[in-house]
């Protein structure tokens, strides 16, 4: 069965460093999402991406964040200058269209020290 994959599974970085989290959505899916979950809290929407552009973003997704689909298969989330409060699990998800199910990746645990 097709699945969403994410790399790395765990990333440790120092405050102020840039990180790129990578996702490979399911190949025929058209809508892509990033969510995050701070430890012990609920999952929160960050950004949605369709047709090579951001379609919606939350107030969390400030200028420090960016997304890209560089090559038609990868979908990346970049955090330019990480803060301690960026420590969280980041989930990528994809779906074929807006009426179909979202499939989640296994997540990347980001630890900012």
Partner 1 sequence: KNEVEQSPQNLTAQEGEFITINCSYSVGISALHWLQQHPGGGIVSLFMLSSGKKKHGRLIATINIQEKHSSLHITASHPRDSAVYICAVRFYGGSQGNLIFGKGTKLSVKP
Q: How far is the CB of 55 from partner 1 (least distance, A)?
A: 4
Looking at beta carbons only, is 48 or 82 nearer to partner 1? 48
By CB under 8 A, name the one of 5, 22, 24, 43 that touches partner 1.
43
Distance, in Å, from the CA atom of 44 to the CA atom of 96, rounded to the nearest integer, reads 21
**What does R_g of the chain's alpha carbons equal in angstroms?**
13
3-state helix, strand, coil in the chain (%, to 5): 5, 50, 45
Pseudo-torsion of CA 62, 47, 88, 99, nearest 10°? 160
By CB under 8 A, name the one of 17, 73, 98, 113 that touches partner 1.
98
Looking at beta carbons only, is 18 or 54 nearer to partner 1? 54
Tell me, residue by residue from 67 to 96, as one string, x for binding to partner 1 by CB under 8 A and - for no binding. Answer: ----------------------x-x---x-
Distance, in Å, from the CA atom of 112 to the CA atom of 53, rounded to the nearest integer, reads 28
Of 58, 43, 55, residue with least CA distance to 91: 43
Contacting positions for partner 1 (CB under 8 A) = 31, 33, 35, 37, 41-45, 48, 50, 55-56, 89, 91, 95, 98-104, 106-107, 109
């Amino acid at each position: 069965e097709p699945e969403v994959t994410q790399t790395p599974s765990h990333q440790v970085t120092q405050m102020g460093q840039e990180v790129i989290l990578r996702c490979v959505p399911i190949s025929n899916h058209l809508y892509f999402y990033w969510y995050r979950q701070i430890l012990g809290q609920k999952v929160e929407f960050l950004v949605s991406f369709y047709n090579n552009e951001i379609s919606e973003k939350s107030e969390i997704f400030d200028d420090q964040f960016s997304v890209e689909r560089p090559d038609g298969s990868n979908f990346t989330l970049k955090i330019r200058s990480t803060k301690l409060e960026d420590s969280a699990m980041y989930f990528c998800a994809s779906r074929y269209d807006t009426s179909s199910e979202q499939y989640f990746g296994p997540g990347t645990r980001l630890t900012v020290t």
